[in-house]
Every structure is written in C-alpha cells, then in structure tokens.
Amino acid sequence: MRLLPDDGEREFASMLRHLFSVGPESPGLWRSLADAGVLGLALPERYGGSGGALTDLGAFCVEAGRALCPTIVHGTIHAGLVVHALGSADQHAALLPIFTSGTTSATTALWSAVDAGIVTPALRAQPDGDAWTLSGAVDFVLDAPLADYVVVSARDMLTGRTLVFVVPNDADGLRADRLTMMGGQAAGRLRFDGVLVEDRTMVLGGDGGVTDGQLHRIANTATALLSLDLVGVGEAALQRTVDHTVMRQQFGRPIASFQAAQHLVANMHIALAAARLAGRAAVSLLEEGDIATREAAVARMHAAAAAKLVTLDAHQLHGGMGYVVDTDLHRYSERARVLSTLGGGADVAATWLQGADA
C-alpha cells in the first residue's frame, strides 16, 4: 500500500495543474482532459483508457478538487468504472470507448443520496419480452440535467435480482427535474415513467444480476475518490489562506506572524494530511479488490471534517473579505458542503463501521 506520492505521481499532478490552469469553466477543459486520457485513466488501453491504476485516479481527484473541476467529469469517470466492473467483454467494447473518448458524459445513481451505504435500487424493472421497462424516481443525482447517460440500478420485478442500466438521458419517459443546490451545483430528480430499454448492451448483470457486494464496492470507490476531491478543495483553500496571512498586515506586521493564526493554519494542515492518508488508504485497498467499507467510512469521516474545518477557518482568517464573492473562497466552501454531504456526512459514514465489523 503506497500512501505517499512518488516522483511519477508528482509529475502527474504537475501535468494536471497545467491542464486545469485554463479554469473550471473553460469550454476547452473537457476536451483537454479527454485528450490527456483522464476520462479513462483507470481503464484498459484496448477500450480507449490509459491503463492506469485506481490510485492514479485518486491523485487526479485531489487536483480536481483543488481546481474545482466540474463534477460531470467525476460522473463520467465513475460510469466507466461501473461498466468495467459489471459489464461483459462485449459491453466493455461497446460502452467504454464512448466514455473514455469524451464524446459523451454520464452520471451514476446507484446508491442513496443521503447514505451511500444504502444500495437498494429505487427503480422497478419489468421484463417486456427481450426488453425492460423502468419505473420510479431517483433523487439528488449530480449533473442529471447535463449528462448524456445515467447509470442506474433497478429491481427485477419478476426474480427480485438487481440489474444496472445505462440509459440515455433523452429516452422517452425519462425526465430530469432540476434541484437547487449550493453554489449552483447541477443536480436533478430523475423520473422514470415506463422507460423502455431494448438494447441488451445497456443492461449490466443481465445473466445473473448484480450483488449488493458489487454495488457496495462501487459506492465505496466513489466515496473514497470524492473524499480525495475534498482534500484538494481544502488544500486550495489553505493555500489561499496562507498567501493572504502573509500579505495582510495588522498592527504593522503580517497576520501570519501571530500565534493564533499560526495555530489555525497548523490545525488545517494536520486535518488535511489525515484526510489525504485516509483517502489514499481506502483507494489502495479498493484497487486490490477489497470492498473496503471501513476504509471508505474513515476516509469520508476525515475528509468531511477537514473540509468543514478548513473552509470555516479560511473565512475567519480572511476576515470580512472572506465573505465577499470576489475572493472566490465561497466556491470552495460550497463545493465542500455539497460533496461532504451527498451520500452522507461524517455522522452517516460512522454508521458504516458497524456493518464493516459484522
């Protein structure tokens, strides 16, 4: 298990910072990430991926959080991981290239938005000859109004097994109702009203169904990766705070020279270091094939706590100007709030430890 970055990872992070330097709202960012192989970073090269490891994806997530990378990038990467984990060789060949190439975007709705430990399908799947009809609704799906595809689970009403479907967002009977979230984060409630899925390529687990263990591992992977995104958010907020305290003077000297400010910055750094190690530990175990529920829980607990501590103290050390939108500090606070609560905060993650011990 490698918990500290090596030279290769540092070079990779430097390359990512260069790509992100165009800004998160740049129309060219998506194409740059696709061309650099980021969308298929942990997928095999024969499907358009980069052949990297899940730990490489963890390194990307830290830089993505630091740069406030649009979450639709995360959703597309997660969708590719789901297809690779659950699909057949034919499905890999048909679906993975459309995600790794950047020609389409995706989001996933495979666990509860309030508790990622709950993977019970919200949708019903009714057999319709060789096709399936999906009904029901899924709440708080990130980027649902923007994505080209949604990867969602449903309960087979005939056998009770769980299946996973890759559904075009423009399918007949599928409606995405926009939901208001902090910072203008795109999200929606997906309503499936008799959505017909006729292409068997779009049905994962069709032979024997998908197990809860597989879905838990997928949820834990997303949780660990987004926890590392929160680390990047915190690191960016911390760096801005350090720069500000060095520049800002009070009583004739930089406020960085005051012991109270130094203590706050030290605590911010310690919290982020713990969150980074916890996130990397979870990703490393997941890469080895472990479900890693305990590690994912610890990663979320540390990341959520660190993100809250760092963003609040960053605003405090910026003083009144920290609450002025011109500083852009609020954008890190808003992303921290969204990503640390979606799927469950530190309190929810703590309950996963009981299941991990069972």
Average pLDDT, integer, range 280-293: 96
pLDDT of residue 325: 74
The two three-digit tokens of residue 355, written as one number: 């299941």
Q: Point out the least confidently predicted range of 7-21, 199-213, 284-298, 313-327.
A: 313-327
pLDDT of residue 63: 96
- Any bridge partners for residue 162, and if so which? 155
d(CA 330, CA 32): 26
179-209 pLDDT, tens digit each: 988 888 999 999 999 999 999 999 999 888 9
d(CA 131, CA 72): 29
Backbone angles phi, psi at 7, to 5 degrees: -60, -40
For residues 48 and 124, state if they share a domain: no
With beta carbons less than 8 A apart as the criterion, state whether 61 and 12 touch: no
Domain boundary among 204, 222, 239: 204
Share of the chain above pLDDT 90, in %: 82
Residue 111, pLDDT > 70, answer yes
For residues 71 and 141, state if they share a domain: no
Residue 70, pLDDT > 60, answer yes
296-338 pLDDT, tens digit each: 999 999 999 999 999 999 999 988 777 777 788 999 999 999 9
Residue with tokens 């660190």: 306
The two three-digit tokens of residue 7, written as one number: 């030279």
Give the single-character DSSP code of 87. Answer: -
For residues 101 and 134, state if they share a domain: no
d(CA 57, CA 49): 12
The two three-digit tokens of residue 166, written as one number: 């890759």
Higher pLDDT, 12 or 95: 95
Average pLDDT, integer, range 82-88: 97
Backbone angles phi, psi at 161, to 5 degrees: -75, 165
Residue 1, pLDDT > 80, answer no
For residues 146 and 21, state if they share a domain: no
Give the single-character DSSP code of 136. Answer: E
Question: How many folded domains does the chain comprise?
Answer: 3
- In angstroms, the Cα distances linking 11 to 24, 310, 312 are 21, 26, 31
Q: Which positions ≥6 away from 300 have C-beta within 8 Å?
A: 223, 224, 227, 340, 343, 344, 345, 346, 349
Backbone angles phi, psi at 53, to 5 degrees: -105, 165
Q: Largest Cα–Cα distance in the chain?
A: 79
The domain in which residue 217 lies consists of 212-357
pLDDT of residue 175: 95
Does the residue 17 lie in any domain? Answer: yes
For residues 217 and 290, state if they share a domain: yes
pLDDT of residue 57: 96
Nearest-10 crossing angle of helices 71-86, 212-247: 150
Does the residue 116 lie in any domain? Answer: yes
Residue 261, pLDDT > 60, answer yes
Share of the chain above pLDDT 70, in %: 97
Residue 357, pLDDT > 80, answer no
For residues 230 and 137, state if they share a domain: no
For residues 217 and 296, state if they share a domain: yes
Tell me, what CATH number does 338's domain have? 1.20.140.10
The two three-digit tokens of residue 126, written as one number: 């009714």
pLDDT band at 86 (very low <50, low <70, confident <90, very high): very high
Does the residue 1 lie in any domain? Answer: no
Average pLDDT, integer, range 71-95: 97
Residue 61, pLDDT > 90, answer yes
**3-class DSSP assignment, residue 126:** strand
Domain boundary among 204, 221, 237: 204
Tell me, what CATH number does 113's domain have? 2.40.110.10
Nearest Cα neighbor of 237 from 210, 271, 195, 288 is 271
With beta carbons less than 8 A apart as the criterion, state whether 352 and 334 touch: no
For residues 89 and 180, state if they share a domain: no
Does the residue 2 lie in any domain? Answer: no
For residues 195 and 217, state if they share a domain: no
For residues 244 and 349, state if they share a domain: yes
Does the residue 76 lie in any domain? Answer: yes
Q: Point out the least confidently predicted range of 26-40, 225-239, 314-328.
A: 314-328
d(CA 39, CA 225): 14
Average pLDDT, integer, range 60-82: 97
For residues 244 and 138, state if they share a domain: no
Does the residue 115 lie in any domain? Answer: yes
Domain boundary among 143, 171, 204: 204
Backbone angles phi, psi at 315, to 5 degrees: -65, -40
Does the residue 284 lie in any domain? Answer: yes
Mean of the per-residue pLDDT values of the chain: 93
With beta carbons less than 8 A apart as the criterion, state whether 216 and 119 touch: yes
Residue 358, pLDDT > 90, answer no
Residue 350 C-beta-side C-alpha neighbours within 13 Å: 6
For residues 181 and 251, state if they share a domain: no
